[in-house]
Structure 1
Amino acid sequence: MGLSLVEGLYKSLALTVLSEIGDKTFFTAAILAMRHPRRLVLAGCLVSLIVMTILSALLGWAAPNLISRKWTHHITTILFFLFGLWTLWEGFTEEGEKELAEVEAKLDADWKASNGTAKAGSKIDDDLKKKQRPFLAQFFSPIFLKAFSLNFFGEWGDKSQIATIGLAADENPLGVVLGGIIGQALCTTAAVLGGKSLASRISEKMIALCGGILFLIFGIQSFLTPIGDS
């Protein structure tokens, strides 16, 4: 089938970087890192995104076994064109700035709620609090779990996840996983080390336009590639 690991890797890497910079998960990691220890935020965000990338690639790898490769190829091509137009539209309408405001508002509300709960329960015995903690929270830091869950569920169903599934159905899944993990590691590390400052210096419009053009290029390449060579 001519599935190249290197081609899958560079496509996945480029797609991930241009999709994730300025995305909800990028801003979430950046804002969490301002309020909590960076190593815990980085670990939680990275683990969640790596798990999501592997799950997405597995779904894409399994798709040709459930549907004919002809149909997965056509669906992937259509997705690239749709996501390209969608991302270009977001760039022209500057949806990125609204996304940052939404993430900040949500995290501020969660922050105030958790602080209020902590003050109200400050007199509870430490042993009783430990017993009442969720099962996972007894083994992992609450900050790690918060970063993991916010990023995992924030990424679920996002266009970058669906694009990864489509890419893994049409390219070497191992290359897609490696490229996705490298891309997620670069974006998440940048977000945690100074994401909000970085985002303010990078044009959200330009990133969205570059991402949209990249999706369209992948769509054209997929359209022109014979199915037997995809």
Structure 2
Amino acid sequence: MSLSIVQGFSKSLAMTVLSEIGDKTFFAAAILAMRHPRRHVLAGCLTALIVMTILSAAVGMAAPNLISRTLSKHITTVLFFGFGLWSLWDAYHDSESEELAEVEAELDANIKSNKSDNKGDDDSKKNKRPLLTQFFSPIFLKAFSITFFGEWGDKSQLATIGLAAAENPYGVVLGGILGQALCQTAAVFGGKSLATQISERFIALSGGVLFIVFGLQSLFSTVES
């Protein structure tokens, strides 16, 4: 395994773990696993995050071919510093339990809405099931959609794009997938009790420092011809 893959792998793994632990999708997986079969929740959440990681890395890999490598390096550096400052801001201003309560309230509202929509037409809907539900569990699809759209445009997705533009994209994908697998497994099997014990402030602070370190490395790195 080449050094560039190892560097991309290690950076992506560290960034993913620190970005996803205590994130909204982490809490969503923990809460969903308390209400539905864990294997369906884990499969749905993890599949969504793997797809998101591959798509993000593909965008990052294509970036140097669309714009100059020098400009790509500058954009990546700004992204890392920006995410670092953003995480440090969150560490000192966010409430510890605010995001968990917000996610739980959103899921409860979603469940109530679905129940009201399903009243009176259960029989007709059984005969008109969407194509995807004929092949996948509804819980899998629910976990997938909540996680995928929850991650779209999130800090971790943009950071993966920037990291794939600066490092070996294959290493970034491998590290990202392993990091997502570790975080989602912890969320699903650790449950809400684990989520409530996580110090969001410490995770945000650690992530902020890590992003700034990545920014400094990008700033002082040389552009390959």
User: The TM-score by the shorter chain falls in which range?
Assistant: over 0.9
SS in 2 for 1:140: coil
> What letter matches 2:84 in structure 1?
G
> What letter matches 1:18 in structure 2?
L
Alignment partner of 1:203 is 2:199:
yes
C-alpha displacement of 1:111: 1.4
C-alpha displacement of 1:102: 1.5
Alignment match, 2:184: 188
State how many pairs are aligned.
Answer: 224
> What letter matches 2:216 in structure 1?
I
C-alpha displacement of 1:95: 4.8
Residues 92 and 201 of structure 2 are in contact (CA less than 8 Å); yes or no, is this contact kept in structure 1? yes
Alignment match, 2:29: 29
C-alpha root-mean-square deviation of aligned residues, in Å?
1.6
Q: Deviations over 1:158-195 (max 9, x none)?
A: 01000000100110000000000000000000000024
The TM-score normalised by the length of structure 2 is 0.95
Alignment partner of 1:179 is 2:175:
yes
Match of 1:152 among 121, 142, 148: 148
Q: Deviations over 1:121-141 (max 9, x none)?
A: 45x2xxx43332212111111
> What letter matches 2:116 in structure 1?
G
Distance 2:64 2:95 in 1: 34
> Any stretches of 5+ residues in structure 2 without a counterpart?
none
Distance 1:210 1:21 in 2: 11
C-alpha displacement of 1:224: 1.2
C-alpha displacement of 1:113: 2.3
Identical aligned residues as a percent: 68
Match of 2:160 among 159, 164, 181: 164
C-alpha displacement of 1:217: 0.6
SS in 2 for 1:227: coil
Alignment match, 1:56: 56
* Equivalences for residues 1-230 of structure 1 within 5 A: 4-95=4-95, 97-122=97-122, 124=123, 128-228=124-224
SS in 1 for 2:33: helix
Q: Deviations over 1:141-169 (max 9, x none)?
A: 11100000000000000010000001001
> Any stretches of 5+ residues in structure 1 without a counterpart?
none
> What letter matches 1:70 in structure 2?
T
